[in-house]
Amino acid sequence: MSTAPSQHPAILRTEEVTKTYRSGAVAVHALRGVDFALYPHEVVALLGASGSGKSTLLNILGGLDCPTSGRIFFRDRELTDLGDDDLTEFRRAHVGFVFQFYNLVPSLTARENVALVTEVAKNPMRPEEALEQVGLSGRMDHFPSELSGGEQQRVSIARAIAKRPEILLCDEPTGALDSKTGITVLDALIEVNRNLGTATALITHNAEIRRIADRVVYMADGRITHVEENAARVPPSEVSW
Amino acid sequence: MRMLDRKLVRDLRHIWVQCLAIALVLGCGIMVLILSTGTQRSLEATRKSYYEENRFADVFAPLTRAPRGLLTEIARIDGVARVEGRVVFTAMIDLEGRPEPASAIVISLPPDGRPVLNVPALRRGRMPRPNHPDEVAISEAFAEANRLRPGDRFQAVLNGQMRPLVIAGVVISPEFIYTVGSGAFEPDDENFGLFWMNETPAAAAMDLSGAFNDLTLTLAHGADERAVIAGVDRLLAPYGGTGAYGRDRQPSNVFIEGELKQLGTMATVLPPIFLLVSAVLVNMVLGRLVSLDRAQIGLFKALGYRSGTIAAHYTKMTLGIGLVGVLLGWGFGWWLGDELTEIYTRYFRFPSLHYRPGTAPIAISGVLGMAAAVLGGLRAVRAATALSPAAAMSPAAPPVYRRGWLDRLGGLAHLRQTTMMILRSLTRWPGRAAVTLFGVSGSVTVLVASFFTFDAIDLILEDLFERANRQDATVTLARPVNERAQIDALALPGVLVAEGIYAAPVRLVNGTRSRLVSLQGREPDARLSRLLDADGAAVQVPQTGLALAAGLAEALGAQPGDRLRVELLSAPRGTWEIPVTAVIRQSLGQDAYMNREAFFRLIGQAPQVNMIHLAINHNDLAALQAKVQETPAIARFALWSDIRRQFEDTLDESLVTMTVIFASLGMLITIGVVYNAARIHLAERAYELVSLRVLGFRRGEVAYVLVAEQMLLTLIAVPLGWLAGYGFCTLMAEGFSTEVVSIPVLVTRRTYATAALIVILTALASVLIVRRRLDRVDIVSALKQKE
């Protein structure tokens, strides 16, 4: 299902966002004025070399970090100057995260890691349902240490989507996985996007993966260099790297 | 500086608060050790030289009257070194501007003015000159309390005769380092004093010219004290000897012994807790540092550093903690020892008492402190050296969790996942949880034991002043009189009730054990001064047989049903076999009681009294005191409100200070343990906790995982600490009880609750300090660190 971006108003939008880090005595300009929009139902791939600003942008979109200048909107609501508590509420209600290193709580089983989120969400699905969506019905009572990397990443996807978020932000979800396992993880993501209509932004520096997205945003040196629209999304199973 | 040492300094700078917390706990142990053993040694050494220089006697024997010629016979007893016979009696003192009379013990000085034994040490003025019958030397404490100086004059009632006296000098005596008047429990320097006067006027006043009524002697080296005492008793029996006793029954010496014993108990019971807790804390913190340094250790080894060098590196860190702790402990121990000694100088009259801990306690405590730190770090140091370079440089395997009883529990109780995280962390690292449990319960233990002192004192006070002794005043008569005197007493101004008592010195013997005590003959229906049973309820003195204070019964190994040999040491003297029929509760003093009528029936005499308890109308107090002062038959008049005030003043000062100190020490343990545990928890799980923030958990919800784990452990530790605390109180009661004071083991709910509350609040404050760190963790940078 591919929806043209312009048909709906953007769910997340940035205007001229910059981000400067102080790293010791050096100022690092991670973002140098980024205008970006994420639309409902779409899958966007963020592509770029290491240090191009992808993760910084994703963190700012997800309310984990604040821009140095510029503005950011969630629908019509401006997030730019929100305090830590409001950003927490924003993440809690609307955003799911998937990271390269899974970020699972080692002391909780797969089911419990998902329940961690469903316990605090407003209208969540059951943990079992979320795990089913990522094809892990059989491994629900396993601890992270008993799961393979791909399985752990799928648990983290289940955990991210269990609260039915409108936005799913994935930072190199397949970065730590071999290609075969990576494909199962991408399948899970696409499946969720199809079933729930979650707007998904996906960071990768694997050029092949861009083919599964509706749009590809190329970044370099803290800026968006160009945006590409894919006429049709390719199923993950047809991608290889 | 070598690179490893530079790393050491930087590491220490990074975790200095944690290290300081451990050093403080360690320092507490050292401090208590230095404080108690140092003070004990100072007190012991000062006493020893004072006793030697002023020739403190070894055996003491009061009697009614014996001719001086008997002294040569006593000197011939095998094992006796020097003998001195004196005239000793009680007098009433009339000081200008004081409504009630003070009482004093008058002690005679030999004709040449130089006592052979128990030599008073002159503080001011001079000793009374021979041939100056009106000159006296008075005790320093009494002089200070009443602002008396050499040259001052006052009136005294000596055996019913009013006499003007002049103060020649102010002295102290090894016999009266700690002075308590008869019938009192605490020093009352204002109302009780000691007088030394020439033998001639003293003997004349008591009609004892050419005679003596008090004997003291020293023993030859290697002499058998028991044999000498038996010999003395035999020779004094015809002269009204009330039983000779050694230093172990000499009141002032007994009190100092008790104090020394208490210091000894403090030195043996408390420091081990602190040293153990600090060792465990070193283990915990260093273990954490080694696991954090894992990759670096691998690198050092790869670079060619020997295991020994790496072991030395981490051991230096424990030495650093140990050194700071020991220095702190020495410093505070010395300071507090000085303060405690200063307090002692107010109660104990020594020529000079200074805090001189000596080198041994300092050296021993230093070694123990360093050993605790180094041994505590041993496990971590061994772990560091055991790592192979290759294994060390690869990341540690993730913790493995397993399903078990906890999951069933979680499922049944529908626990939240954050709660499950806490429970799994506890079961995954039981050792770590045990450390916190151990430390926090230790803290509760120390607090319960500290506050228990108040419980014990409260109970003693309540027993003494509210349950047992409800009289307003007690009159001690100069000599026993017919029991009709109690009816006469009702005629005194303001007297509402009068209860007569007959107190006689006796020796109780049970097999090989014996004790010199006061046997009190009482009326069964006494309403003012009552006996208490084990639960503190008033009981009547049994119709027949002896009622023994529990401490006395224990000292004699006697139980109800046992028959004791009772040697009456006052007229008409004699020995009877009397069964023990009751054991009663008495915390202060250890006396024996009997029905007065039964007692006199047994000894075949008409009932007498020598003490009268009074309930009085306080409006008539002044008139009563005036009347008492002019009644020669009354040797002493004591107001129980004065006794109580004196008691409480003394307690307030020393007890509150000590309790505040120990309560602070108890709190320090909790701070040291909980702060360190929370810091380590945070350091190891920061990433996990931050992940929760990413998922949209609020700060409070994330902090819950950190705070609740520590607080859960604290809550579990509290009842454990209560149990240990109770055991500890039993030990303390045993250690602090002396022949004179028996400390009741009763811990009130108030004590348990206060200890728990303090520990819980301290733990909460400690973990909340760490929580502030958690709040400050930046989400993005924490996520980056993992990568």
Q: What is the pLDDT of residues B671-691, one digit of tens each?
A: 988 998 898 888 888 888 888
A92 touches chain B (CB under 8 A): yes
A223 touches chain B (CB under 8 A): no
Q: Averaged over A189-215, what is the pLDDT?
A: 90
Bridge partners of B90, per DSSP, are B105
State the angle between helix axes of A149-161 and A110-118 in degrees (0 to 180), rounded to the nearest 10. Answer: 20
pLDDT in tens, B492-538: 999 999 999 999 888 899 988 888 888 999 988 888 999 999 888 88
Question: In which residue ranges of chain B is pLDDT below 50?
Answer: 787
Residue A44's pLDDT is what? 96
Q: CA–CA distance from B279 to each of A146, B266, B725 (Å)?
A: 36, 20, 21
- Nearest chain B residue to A141 by CA distance is B403
pLDDT surpassing 90 at residue A222:
yes
Q: Averaged over A98-124, what is the pLDDT?
A: 86
A20 touches chain B (CB under 8 A): no
Structure tokens at B680: 């380590």
pLDDT surpassing 80 at residue A23:
no
- Within 8 A by CB and 6+ apart from B226, the residues are none
Beta B513-522 vs B592-595: how paired, if at all?
parallel
User: What is the spatial distance between Cα B531 and Cα B540, in angstroms, rounded to a whole number?
Assistant: 7
Phi, psi of B360 (to 5 degrees): -60, -55
- Nearest chain A residue to B786 by CA distance is A101
Residue B184's pLDDT is what? 63
- Give A7: exposed, middle or buried? Use CB within 10 Å, 0-12, 13-18, 19+: exposed
How many C-beta atoms surround the C-beta of residue B153 within 10 A?
A: 11
Q: Helix (H, G, I), strand (E, B), or coil: what is residue B714?
A: helix
Are residues A119 and B416, on separate chains, in Cβ contact within 8 Å?
Answer: yes
Residue B198's pLDDT is what? 95
User: What is the spatial distance between Cα B251 and Cα B55, in angstroms, rounded to a whole number?
Assistant: 17
A176 touches chain B (CB under 8 A): no
A93 touches chain B (CB under 8 A): yes
| A interface test, pick of B427, B681, B685, B691 with most A CB neighbours within 10 Å | B691
Asked whether the beta carbons of B525 and B604 are under 8 A apart, the reply is no
Task: Tell me which residues of chain B have a C-beta less than 8 Å from any C-beta of chain A.
Answer: 398-403, 416-418, 420-421, 424-425, 428, 687-688, 691-699, 701, 779-780, 783, 786-787
- Give A19: exposed, middle or buried? Use CB within 10 Å, 0-12, 13-18, 19+: buried
User: What is the spatial distance between Cα B412 and Cα B425, in angstroms, rounded to a whole number?
Assistant: 19
Which residue, B84, B90, B119, is CA-closest to B102?
A: B90
Asked whether the beta carbons of B145 and B189 are under 8 A apart, the reply is yes
The helices-and-strands tally (H runs, E runs) of chain B is: 22, 22
DSSP H stretches of helix in B96-166:
140-145
Residue B185's pLDDT is what? 65
CB proximity under 8 Å: A 52-71 to B: 59, 62, 64-65
Q: Which residue has the higher pLDDT, B610 or A205?
A: B610
A109 touches chain B (CB under 8 A): yes
Residue B202's pLDDT is what? 94
State the angle between helix axes of B16-53 and B640-694 in degrees (0 to 180), rounded to the nearest 10. Answer: 160
Q: CA–CA distance from A167 to each of A75, A196, B450, B538, B748 (Å)?
A: 11, 10, 59, 80, 60
Q: What is the pTM (predicted TM-score) of this model?
A: 0.78
User: What is the spatial distance between Cα B552 and Cα B532, in angstroms, rounded to a whole number?
Assistant: 15
User: Sheet of B59-67: strands edge to edge?
Assistant: B80-86, B211-219, B59-67, B245-246
3-state secondary structure B502-523: EEEEEEEEECCEEEEEEEEEEC
Bridge partners of B582, per DSSP, are B547
